[in-house]
Copies of this chain bind each other. A is one copy, B any other.
Amino acid sequence: MDLKFLQELIMPAHTKIAMLIMDGLGGLPLEPGGKTELETAITPNLDALAALSALGLTVPVGPGITVESGPGHLALFGYDPLQYRIGRGVLEAVGLDIDLEPSDVAVRGNYSTVDGAGMVTDRRARRIPSEVSRELSALLTTRIEDVEFQVRTVREHRLAIVMRGPGLSSDVTGSDPLKNDHPPLPLQARTPQAEKTARLLNQFVERARLVMEAYTPKPPANMLLLRGFDKHPDLPAFPQIYGLRAAAIAVYPTYRGIAKLVGMQVLPVEGGTAADEFTVLEKNWGDFDFFYLHIKETDLAGEDGDFARKVGIIEEVDALIPRLMALNPDVVIVSGDHSTPAVLKGHSWHPVPTLLYGRHVRADSIAEFGERACGRGSLGIFPAKHIMPIALANALRLAKFSA
């Protein structure tokens, strides 16, 4: 069942769908037999909503596979993340709010150090401070022949480079040896069409080396390592596939970027709290059919290994649920793009608790939103990419399949 099949069944309706994503929602207990972050959180509003919902556990990409935000979100939006891929260079660039043009090439880069013999001594240049990194990136931004190189620091040693100009190709091999004590690899064209790109990239790297050498005081990096060359992924547009006027409400650039890549309208958010996001939802409720609302802090707390903070953020979001329900949405999804258990201090492969509310949903009568409650739900354990067709059906937006 692909997007084309689904698109042929789409029919218009006046229903509204809200998708609330708590990043890294799924968790683990601190002790065997204990409760997860979501199970520990006191969530009367989500529990009441669960009682009227179908519950299940979503698998972002495949069993056992831990995902980054890119594939995790593509799945939530109904795209097979193994078929549709967003290159890392592109993800870094859109995460910095750079508007990519179809002919641009986005690159992921590292500030690093090499010794006198040209061997990489530290691929991350001792995690060079972001302030220094930003200063260097401004100096490295340049134009060679008819191609602009926009260099932007992501954080510390990590940077994104966007090449803009005629005749560029992403078919270039990277220079990052991916381990220390090896020399940087030559940037080489994989196809004749990529020769100009490779030639300019080598000039760019040599210029960067000279700029860093000439810089005073001596900077903590003296080399650039590049990889992850990509163009805009040109994904089928979410509003066109599903016939939905779609809005994204997210504070963090990466998620605003992913939403933009699938063609959602990204709404401005004043302030950075979950409550601020709900205010944007309320203000724009009349103008869209689909709302993607993203909460980042659950994931950050999980990455920091801060179980209690993750619990607190879930409780904060729970307190906002009545504001969503007061809008009388036809279908509500509450889920995450992946799990980030505090105990693991990072993303994990664990299926993600998922709630589907709607007046035509066959509710499970389980008055609890948590990992084990969702494990007993009638949605079962299912691919995250199935959420959208199920939500569309419940919004009465899919015609009957009659062969």
Asked whether, in the complex, the Cβ of A360 is within 8 Å of the Cβ of B28, the reply is yes
Say yes or no: A403-B64 contact (C-beta < 8 A), given A36-B362, A380-B380.
Answer: no
Q: A50-77: contact bitstring with B at CB < 8 Å (1 yes, 0 no)?
A: 0110000100011111111011000000
Asked whether, in the complex, the Cβ of B403 is within 8 Å of the Cβ of A81, the reply is yes
Say yes or no: A61-B393 contact (C-beta < 8 A), given A402-B71, A403-B81.
Answer: no
* A381-B356 Cα distance, complex, nearest whole Å: 15
Chain B neighbourhood of A388, CB < 8 A = 64
Chain B neighbourhood of A371, CB < 8 A = 362, 378
Chain B neighbourhood of A378, CB < 8 A = 57, 351, 371-372, 374-376, 381
* A378-B86 Cα distance, complex, nearest whole Å: 30
| Most chain B CB inside 10 Å of its own CB: which residue of A29, A32, A381, A401 | A401
| Most chain B CB inside 10 Å of its own CB: which residue of A344, A359, A390, A403 | A403
Say yes or no for A398: interface residue by CB 8 A criterion: yes
* A393-B388 Cα distance, complex, nearest whole Å: 27
Chain B neighbourhood of A81, CB < 8 A = 401, 403
Task: Give the Cβ gap from A3 to chain B, nearest Cβ, in Å.
Answer: 12
**Interface residue from B71, B350, B374, B379 paired with A401 (Cβ < 8 Å):** B71
Task: Give the Cβ gap from A47 to chain B, nearest Cβ, in Å.
Answer: 14
* A51-B372 Cα distance, complex, nearest whole Å: 13
Say yes or no for A88: interface residue by CB 8 A criterion: yes
Asked whether, in the complex, the Cβ of A401 is within 8 Å of the Cβ of B64, the reply is no
Chain B neighbourhood of A51, CB < 8 A = 33
Say yes or no for A386: interface residue by CB 8 A criterion: yes
Q: State the main secondary structure of chain A at its contact with B.
A: loop
Say yes or no for A377: interface residue by CB 8 A criterion: yes
Task: Give the Cβ gap from A341 to chain B, nearest Cβ, in Å.
Answer: 8
With both beta carbons as reference points, the residue of chain B lying nearest to A230 in the complex is identified as B403
* A359-B28 Cα distance, complex, nearest whole Å: 10
Chain B neighbourhood of A403, CB < 8 A = 68, 70-71, 81, 85-88, 91
* A33-B361 Cα distance, complex, nearest whole Å: 11
Say yes or no for A14: interface residue by CB 8 A criterion: no
Say yes or no: A350-B372 contact (C-beta < 8 A), given A398-B66, A400-B68.
Answer: no
Say yes or no for A382: interface residue by CB 8 A criterion: yes
Say yes or no for A117: interface residue by CB 8 A criterion: no
Chain B neighbourhood of A65, CB < 8 A = 1, 9, 389, 393, 398, 401
Can you report 28 residue pairs joining A to B where beta carbons are below 8 Å apart?
A1-B63, A32-B52, A32-B363, A33-B51, A33-B365, A64-B391, A64-B394, A65-B393, A65-B398, A66-B401, A67-B400, A68-B401, A70-B402, A71-B402, A81-B401, A85-B403, A86-B403, A88-B402, A344-B360, A349-B390, A349-B394, A350-B362, A364-B372, A372-B378, A374-B378, A375-B378, A378-B381, A380-B381
